[in-house]
Chain A
């Protein structure tokens, strides 16, 4: 059974990096025991780029791919889809650039 995280149970304004770290940690903990974690954004009134970057952006950067297309399912957050896609795109772009600039190991 997939685990479901509901950030709005803690805060309805997802505005700070601190809260982003908190939700990201919950997701990472959930993925230790489950193949999929659902993030239910029902009740979240606002989301800032800082929160989205800290949570979904950094998770994707670590994984090397868009986690919301894989083990992290985001529901009830259509209004935040542009933002979440944007921060993930930027983080993955950063990762690719960093990898290209590093010399290949022998």
Chain B
């Protein structure tokens, strides 16, 4: 048997998403001899964020099932578990390497769980369940600590963002590859960092989705005007977050990623998108940063991670009121 090929996963959060994407080094792994098992080394992982979890799950799926359309063979997969017991338990609770579908997570959720375990995106019922469930987790935790109208506003923003995002992934991957989603709610609180004073942290929700589908460039490339813009140098990920940009002109409105991005910006959160070799990150002031991954480190699908800060800016109704004129790119 050929020597195993090892993927060493390091604990990056949402702000280092490009490093997380690059860690998987899919081209090197899939270029190894077919009988070479893949080792995912999680031993050095000291914390886990949703952005890393969805990439891990989607990568594992690709390795285990293979993808004949890309000449990727199915392989044996071995996991080196994290040294930290709490991280190991957390990964089990998040359903990592579990069945990824069906109503039951691998382990029963604690009554006060703040996370949404990994789930596969299969049907529209599934996307609605996931979005509704995350909203319930956040609202149940905040109840009694926030005014009713704030709860309503926060619930609407979380439900809308996740529902729209998941629906977007499910509809647009256009392949038999499943996408995966998970989320973590970080309640507000006072924390004491080493060597620093007390710090107050606002409540936050991290949401991440990843698939190994056809990717944004190929999806948008089906629309002639968008294909031309990409040929002229437009970054596919940045393009996909503009209002009205859709791979199904006339049929769909192109709201999904635009609403998600605007909510992140408005709430002083973070929005990150990667697909193939292109990346896009948006700041709280709304000025985005387009980037790229070296060809050798491209992610074979699409990945989005976002952080919503539970602040006054989390108001989806205001975003609808500010809807810009539709660009009619498809005309």
- Decide if B131 touches A86 in the complex (CB within 8 Å): no
A12 adjacent to chain B (CB < 8 Å):
yes
Shortest C-beta distance, A25 to chain B (Å), equals 15
A48 contacts which of B152, B155, B160, B326 (Cβ < 8 Å)?
B160
Docked complex: A31-69 residues within 8 A CB-CB of B:
45-50, 53, 57
Contact stretch, chosen from B18-26, B45-53, B316-324: B316-324
- Decide if B255 touches A16 in the complex (CB within 8 Å): no
Smallest CB gap from A87: residue in B: B253
Residues of A within 8 A of B259 (CB): 49
- Decide if B256 touches A79 in the complex (CB within 8 Å): no
Docked complex: B121-142 residues within 8 A CB-CB of A:
124-125, 127-129, 131-132, 135
B317 contacts which of A13, A82, A101 (Cβ < 8 Å)?
A82
Known: A49-B164, A94-B328. A89 touches B323 (CB 8 A): yes
Shortest C-beta distance, B252 to chain A (Å), equals 7
B76 adjacent to chain A (CB < 8 Å):
no
Question: How far is B164's CA from A46's CA once the two chains are assembled, in angstroms?
Answer: 11
Residues of B within 8 A of A85 (CB): 320
Residues of A within 8 A of B156 (CB): 46, 79
Residues of A within 8 A of B132 (CB): 12-13, 15, 45-46
Question: How far is B160's CA from A47's CA once the two chains are assembled, in angstroms?
Answer: 7
- Decide if B127 touches A15 in the complex (CB within 8 Å): yes
A45 contacts which of B159, B323, B325 (Cβ < 8 Å)?
B159
- Decide if B152 touches A79 in the complex (CB within 8 Å): yes
Residues of A within 8 A of B125 (CB): 16
Residues of B within 8 A of A73 (CB): none
Question: How far is B250's CA from A105's CA once the two chains are assembled, in angstroms?
Answer: 22
Docked complex: A3-35 residues within 8 A CB-CB of B:
11-13, 15-19
Question: How far is B256's CA from A48's CA once the two chains are assembled, in angstroms?
Answer: 9
- Decide if A18 touches B317 in the complex (CB within 8 Å): no
Shortest C-beta distance, B255 to chain A (Å), equals 4
A11, A48, A82, A101: most-surrounded residue (chain B CB, <10 A): A48
A106 adjacent to chain B (CB < 8 Å):
no
Residues of A within 8 A of B256 (CB): 49-50
Residues of A within 8 A of B131 (CB): 13, 15, 46
Residues of A within 8 A of B152 (CB): 79
Residues of B within 8 A of A57 (CB): 253
Residues of A within 8 A of B171 (CB): 17
- Decide if A50 touches B253 in the complex (CB within 8 Å): yes
- Contact indicator per residue, chain A 77-106, by CB within 8 Å of chain B (1) or not (0): 001001101110111011001100100000
Write the residues of chain B forming the contact surface with A, with a CB cutoff of 8 angstroms.
124-125, 127-129, 131-132, 135, 152, 155-156, 159-160, 163-164, 166-168, 171, 244, 250, 252-253, 255-256, 259, 316-317, 320-321, 323, 325-326, 328, 331
Extra contacts, 11 of them, besides A13-B159, A16-B167 (Cβ < 8 A), are: A15-B128, A15-B132, A15-B164, A16-B125, A48-B160, A49-B164, A50-B256, A86-B321, A89-B323, A90-B253, A90-B326
What are 15 A-B interface contacts by the 8 Å CB criterion? A15-B128, A15-B159, A16-B163, A19-B128, A48-B167, A49-B160, A49-B164, A49-B259, A50-B164, A50-B256, A83-B317, A86-B321, A87-B255, A93-B326, A94-B328
